[in-house]
Structures are given as structure tokens and as C-alpha cells.
Amino acid sequence: MTKQKKARLIYNPTSGQEIMKKNVAEVLDILESYGYETSAFQTTPWPNSARDEAKRAAKAGFDLVIAAGGDGTINEVVNGIAPLAKRPKMAIIPTGTTNDFARALKIPRGNPVEAAKIIGKNQMIKMDIGQARDDTYFINIAAAGSFTELTYSVPSQLKTTFGYLAYLAKGVELLPQVSKVPVRITHDDGVFEGDASMIFAAITNSVGGFEQIAPDAKLDDGKFTLIIVKTANLIEILHLIRLVLNGGKHINDRRVEYIKTSYMKIEPLSDKRMMINLDGEYGGDAPIELKNLKNHITFFANTDEISDDALVLDPEELALEAIAHKFTHEVEDLDQEAEE
């Protein structure tokens, strides 16, 4: 007798104006229709509520854990699963403000029912995960520098009400305050030592709602896209933002270092405090080491919509896909001959 698969839905009831809370029953029905014995857990204000439940579910042998909420909820669930030797598959139902991770995986945003239906397509990616220190993980970005501190300055109520517009408004306000700090960044191919106003280590191509900051980022190659902005001049930063919006042309600008690396160490070279932002939240101070854990967690994704440029194509999978296509065409030909 085949063992029935088990799924655990971990959802944030306050995310996205409580949209998930209103759709839990229908999402559970959808998951049950895909053959999962499904139960739900509503997160609480208690610290690490989602992380602890994800860890418990993984150790209890659940086959699938679904994180429903914003990037913060997804980050917590990943932090519950990532340290374990045996990790369940993951899916996401994005209901937050920026939903960077969902953008990268092409999951419908703000529509829990349509997001849940992606699981039924049975398409998956073995995703890279970032590790900071020994016990902290991130799914999308690690950042440092004065401009990245805007995420700490936006009140939570403003985020909930206005979403990414709140970040943009605060970002414009902070631009004149951007400054450079001396830093040393050790990476796979050497060392950068100099002044930087912004540092990004991206896993996906979507950062803060912009999908061109790391335009050639791959989701499964074991590499961060390291971006170091070397200017704090307001006019030059505005010019770089225009280049980002114009197809990601900033990557060739002399004021930007654009590096692929599986490891980095960020060290401030002054007494000024350098806070590290992990997936939009405070993640401690530099110095810090970051490692890319290649193919660490398998996520359900809408791979039909993901560009081939964003993935490392497995030769074995490509060969199987080619055989499947050939078989399909041969069947179609036989059907056509039979009709004739």
C-alpha cells in the first residue's frame, strides 16, 4: 500500500491584509486534491513561530511544507528546514509586500488559490540557499551599506498598507544621506578593497521588486551575484538606477563591481558599524561570512514561465525531456495515421 504524502501549511494570518486567512479552507482542499494529507499552522507573534513549526514538521516526516506569507515568513520556514540533513520539499504562497522570491519562481502573487495550484503542476527546482554564520539562512539577498538601511526605517503598518511604494518613498528620502565606507570583501576570485556605498549578494534576479539588479542571476548554480556600488554621489546613483531600469546595463558601469562567487567575507575597515540585511531584516553586523549552499532545498516553481537563462540546465534532464518530446510527436504521428 502506497503511503499517503503529508503536507503542512504554515501561514501568516496578518500578511497581505489577511488574504491568506480568508483562503485557508480552499487552499487545503486544493492540496488534498493533489494527494496530500494536509494540515495547517497559523503563525503567532511569538519569535520564530514559523521557523520552529517548519523544523517540527520536517522532523515529523512531512513530505511538503508550504510557507504562506511575505518574504519574511518564507525566510523563517527556510531557516527551520535548511539545517536538517533530511529536508522536505517546499512551496510558497506569496501574500506579502515585495515577494521577491515568488517573482523569481514565477508564483502568482496576492492570489493564494492560484499560487497553490502551482503545486499541481509538479514542477520543481533545486534552489540555492545562502548561509550567514552557522545558523542563519537567507533565500534572496544579503545586503549592506547606508542605502540598504531603508528597510529598517519603514514602519510595519506603512509596509502593510502601501507595500513597495513605502520602500520607494523612504528610498528617495534617504538618497541624499548615502555615504561610502571602506570595506574588504574576499570572494572566490580575489579581494575587493575600497570604498562602497552599497553591497548586494543576490541569489535570485529580483531585489526589492526590481528584476534587473542581478539580470543574469541563476537560481541553481551555487553562485551569488555580488554587486558593489563604489559611488555615493547622488547624481551618479540616480544614473545607475536608470541603467538598472534600462535592462540591467549597470553591470558594465565603472562605478559597479559585478562578481559571481560561491563565498564571500565582508569586513568593514573603519570603526563605523555595518549592519547586514538578510531578506529585508536585520541579520547582525559585519564582519560576516556568506556561503552559497547549492541546490539545498527543492521548491515547487512555475518553471514553464522561468527563463532558461535563470537555470543551469542538467544534461540528463535535457536528454529525458528530448526523449519525452520525441515520444509525444511519434504518438501524434501515429494518431494522425490512424485517422487517415
In sign, the C-alpha dihedral spanning 310, 314, 320, 325 is: positive
State the residue for C-alpha cell 511538503.
64
- Cell numbers representing residue 214 in the block: 542581478
The DSSP line for 234-284 is HHHHHHHHHHHHTTSGGGG-TTEEEEEESEEEEEESSSS--EEEETTEEEE
For β-strands 181-187 and 263-268, DSSP reports them as: antiparallel
Phi-psi region of 39 (alpha: psi -120 to 50; beta: other; left: phi over 0): beta
| Closest listed residue to residue 204, CA positions, set 142, 263, 116 | 142
Backbone angles phi, psi at 145, to 5 degrees: 115, 160
Cα separation, 120 vs 34, in Å, equals 6
Q: Is 281 a catalytic residue?
A: yes
Tell me which of 37, 211, 236, 281 is the catalytic residue.
Answer: 281
- Cell numbers representing residue 104 in the block: 523569481
Cα separation, 205 vs 248, in Å, equals 10
| Closest listed residue to residue 68, CA positions, set 59, 60, 77 | 77
The residues that are catalytic are 281
